[in-house]
Structure 1
């Protein structure tokens, strides 16, 4: 089986490549200036095809002789200035890929979405795959772009594609992976004092990649799966990390006053070009909210047990 992976040079894409190499030949899409460091470290045999999600003709060429596509490319940003770029990457890019697959007759698509695409509610604290998207003050431009990207995938299914959608929570790789989703480690490494009062949902990158492979082997077409180990408080999350890293964990809860002040400061700092802190009113509310993205569907379908958090931290450092 020939497997084409978009976003293969990113954090999750590199773990997916290693996992799916057991099922077939790996083809990777990259741009001319893309770094392949994460893949080089895994010593994988990859056939490269240069293409850009913004160019439908390049995508059609990249799909030649491909049996399965894993769409892991996407932009993660919570900066208000990136709203247009989020749409172009996560929505239009996905639309171009779906259309190219339909044009070339490539039928099987694994779409890597996000729990952000499922949505949130101020009233509901346990969210599963059946949760219906609704407008909420907890939604970000990133969440909207991932939701609309998913709609393109489900439209592709209606037009003939076999589709599986996976919705991972925060993916924890190794510190050395040095990607946006591993930057959460720096908070404890720098021994910050404050912790949000909300919950964090997370998954080990190795678990996320393995579960994705297993649902493909199950041929669970037409389904979506939340990929999430568990939901725990930020305080416990940071304290376990601090224990593993030999650091002092944050001990002071963030008060509403301090959070509002931080939102104001980060907005001014961004306006002055002095900060890229991903903090705005929506992300501030999210950090204080308690929500569990329910993993019971994956556990039931696969009888899968996720790695303990401390094991992940010990591996990551």
Structure 2
């Protein structure tokens, strides 16, 4: 019986909610925390923090006595300059976590991948776990790193490790401390810094459902399977309309033709960065918006019992948390 779970990435958005879901399910939690990490998302929780990172040489020793690992930690960046760090943290870090878990005698690993590793079906079609974009067609070094990290998991599964893969879509809700790209959209909307939008779409889910999906994968998931943790496919316009409804602010009315942000991002990241200026618009981020990123989470709902909470409640909670956080920092 699993009693203690070793969690990586617990100070982050998804990880902090995974820790809370595990505690509610009466698991003990040992959280791997980098020395420089902000501990706000875990403050006051009855957990055992241990210092290190995904490439620490003493990972197996830090995991001793745990029956399961939730490997949530990852580096997220759409900047092309971060390719090496993405590989080092996401790919090599996953390899080291899995090797350490095997050495420490951990019984089961839940690996947090992403729908980014699955890719996007052409023409806005809905993708499920059976779909896979060729790695060279995955836009951004980040997406490619998550694909190759999944391959590390599959190789470990072939060697006999008990690993379940979960692929969150776009989580929203409270405690988006960094924030994530979606959290940044909400933040910019609340700050009235979004006069227009790109015509794209995403699959959204309450981050608390994503966290519960990790616990369900631990308890019910099948070894070697991957499960999309998602809920509702929405155009970006529909999502902005929901933000407007819950915030009382006006949603942007105009779309931006894709060539305009592409041109801005190319000049910003490719040209100006060579002159020593810090870019503000990642080119790969704009390229990703060319097609809607829609997914089908029915497998996780059917096999795991993944909750499908009302998205409006998650949006309202995200807005409330960001407004309170903004008040606290001013």
TM-score normalised to the size of structure 1?
A: 0.92
Match of 1:186 in 2: 187
Match of 2:199 in 1: 197
Residue in structure 1 matching 2:31, options 28, 40, 56: 28
1:77-88, aligned counterparts within 5 Å? 77-88=77-88
Contact kept in structure 2, 1:120 and 1:136, CA below 8 Å: no
Contact kept in structure 2, 1:175 and 1:185, CA below 8 Å: no
Q: Does 1:264 align with 2:250?
A: no
Match of 1:226 in 2: 228
Match of 1:15 in 2: 17
Distance 1:175 1:210 in 2: 16
Distance 1:303 1:67 in 2: 23
Distance 1:153 1:20 in 2: 22
Match of 2:50 in 1: 49
Contact kept in structure 2, 1:138 and 1:285, CA below 8 Å: no
Q: Pick closer, same or farther for the CA change 1:206–1:276 going to 2, 3 Å.
A: farther
Match of 2:98 in 1: 98
Q: Which moved more, 1:164-173 or 1:135-144?
A: 135-144
Q: Does 1:168 align with 2:171?
A: no
Cα offset, 1:102, TM superposition: 1.9
Match of 2:42 in 1: 39
Number of aligned residues: 313
Distance 1:291 1:180 in 2: 16
Distance 2:255 2:127 in 1: 25
Contact kept in structure 2, 1:138 and 1:283, CA below 8 Å: no
Match of 1:147 in 2: 147
Distance 1:249 1:271 in 2: 36
Contact kept in structure 2, 1:78 and 1:278, CA below 8 Å: no
CA RMSD, aligned part only? 2.0
Distance 1:93 1:185 in 2: 30
TM-score normalised to the size of structure 2?
A: 0.88
Unmatched 5+ stretches in structure 2: 321-330
Residue in structure 2 matching 1:297, options 293, 296, 299: 299
Contact kept in structure 2, 1:201 and 1:292, CA below 8 Å: yes
Q: Which moved more, 1:133-142 or 1:72-81?
A: 133-142
Unmatched 5+ stretches in structure 1: none
